[in-house]
Amino acid sequence: MTSIGIGLCGLGTVGQGVCEHLFGNRALLQQRLGLDLAVVAAAVRDVAKPRRLPADATTVRITGEWRDVVDDPRVRVVVELIGGLDDAFDLILAALKAGKTVVTGNKALLAERGAEIFAESERQGVPVFFEASTAGGIPIIKAVREAFVVNHFLSFHGIVNGTSNYILSRMTDAGLEFADALAEAQREGYAEADPTLDVNGWDAAHKAIILASLAYGSWLRPADLSVAGIDLVSADDIRFARQLGWRVKLLASIRARDAGVSASVWPTLIPAGHVLASVNGVFNAIMVRGDVVGDALFYGRGAGGSPTASAVISDLADAATALVSGGVPRCSGFRPHALYGRALPPGELESRHYLRLAVDDVPGVLGQVAGALGANGIGISSALQPEEHDSGDRAQLILMLDRAKESQMQRAVAELEALPCVRGTAKLLRVESFGS
């Protein structure tokens, strides 16, 4: 049986999961692939640190230098799992220049420098696989790249960050405030000690960049996205949304329009009866709309050692099969096609909005607020002033607004916050009904 040498760079949670399942399911993989995926070398930052590795992994060469793995003549596929940007970028380019296929799950790196990586991949004629970079064990990259190859993609809507989804689920189910739900997520191991990229929306944004670039044929820049995190959301917003028939989710939205491609990640009100409203806890889901397939939904665990390891090993199987057949897989890596024109600037993105204001409880306030919105071309579809939130001379005003560009909304919010009758900072969330 042909053996394909695998080199792992990084033996953290995902790397150990890859190693565990490659050894534990070795016979199954051999039967299905007709190949042996053999881990022969692994690079780690601290060689002395104890790790949970399979008993039969004693033949794996452990080194403190990723260059040793790339230079090892037995290694034909390099798996980058060290994370970060600079070292990971250098590692991937070195592997490509050495003619070695690359598998990576580094979403931040692909979002920031994917264009450079895939340009080098094209120059060297060596593929890069990246299924694990988006939504963990959900095979969304393979579906977009292969199963839906005949489709023009009309839109993607996804819950693609498990930490944020867990926090919002607990805020919804238990009435927790954001800080309390975050602390619980950290205690349960669902949030990192530094959860910044999860809660500020940028982990989801990196995944949105990868999906958008793959689907629409040219790489978006981080500056092309409108991004906001769940730290904007309070228990009051969750409760008011429920009263109005909505649920709050951190939603990644990508659309193709005649004018170009738009992408955003925002806390968003979605209808309580929509399938994405029922995606709770650490689970992810992505809804794809194609002109041929229609709507398709992908659901599963979006993070964690085993789900992500499953995606890595799927890429390893494709890479190994291509190496044995003597060619590059037809749909491997990123293929530019540029059918959709430019990326729309964030200010041009259109959406409905939920707006919550703390206002003086005096006559004429709604007229002043409506005037500021109307001056910016924004209509009000409904208004709610909960009586139980009256406190002395202060009241809560919740407005559901008509569609408007983000630039319009930002101008309107600035004007509203300057009104003498408005107290504090306005709370602005998006509203999505999943139309065309």
Query: Which residue pairs, CB below 8 angstroms and at least 24 apart, start in 98-101?
Result: 98/70, 98/71, 99/124, 99/126, 100/7, 100/70, 100/75, 100/76, 100/126, 101/76, 101/77, 101/126, 101/127, 101/128, 101/129, 101/319, 101/322, 101/323
Q: How far apart are CA 222 and CA 244, in angstroms?
A: 33
Structure tokens at 273: 């009866």
Structure tokens at 16: 């150990």
CA distances from 435 to 144, 169, 260, 289, 432 (A): 21, 24, 18, 11, 8
Q: How far apart are CA 362 and CA 352, in angstroms?
A: 27
Reference 42, options 17, 73, 79, 13; nearest CA is: 79
Q: How far apart are CA 10 and CA 305, in angstroms?
A: 13
Backbone angles phi, psi at 229, to 5 degrees: -110, 180
Do the Cβ atoms of 423 and 407 come closer than 8 Å?
no
All structural domains of the chain, each given as residue ranges with its CATH number in brackets, are 2-139+305-325 (3.40.50.720), 144-301 (3.30.360.10), 349-431 (3.30.70.260)
Reference 247, options 267, 224, 226; nearest CA is: 267
Backbone angles phi, psi at 34, to 5 degrees: 70, 25
How many CB atoms lie under 10 A from the CB of residue 416? Answer: 22
C-alpha Rg value of the chain to the nearest Å = 24
Q: Which spans in 221-304 are helix H? A: 235-243
Q: CB-based burial of residue 240 (10 Å sphere; 0-12 exposed, 13-18 middle, 19+ buried)?
A: buried
Predicted TM-score (pTM) of the model is 0.94
Secondary structure in 3-state letters for 114-182: HHHHHHHHHHHCCCEECHHHCCCCCCHHHHHHHHCCCCCEEEEEEECCHHHHHHHHHHHHHCCCHHHHH
Structure tokens at 279: 């995606």
Q: How far apart are CA 117 and CA 92, in angstroms?
A: 8
Structure tokens at 293: 């397939």
The distance from CA 382 to its chain's CA centroid, rounded to whole angstroms, is 32
pLDDT digits (tens, 9 = 90+) for 384-396: 988 765 556 789 9
pLDDT digits (tens, 9 = 90+) for 239-274: 999 999 999 999 999 999 888 899 999 999 999 999
Do the Cβ atoms of 354 and 433 come closer than 8 Å?
no
pLDDT in tens, the chain (436 residues): 899 999 999 999 999 999 999 999 999 999 999 999 999 999 999 999 988 899 889 899 999 999 999 999 999 999 999 999 999 999 999 999 999 999 999 999 999 999 999 999 999 999 999 999 999 889 999 999 999 999 999 999 999 999 999 999 999 999 999 999 999 999 999 999 999 999 999 999 999 999 999 999 888 999 999 999 999 999 999 999 999 999 999 999 999 988 889 999 999 999 999 999 999 999 999 999 999 999 999 999 987 889 999 999 999 999 999 999 886 665 566 777 766 778 899 999 999 999 999 999 999 999 999 999 999 999 999 999 887 655 567 899 999 999 999 999 999 999 999 999 999 999 999 999 897 5
Q: Which are the catalytic amino acids? A: 207
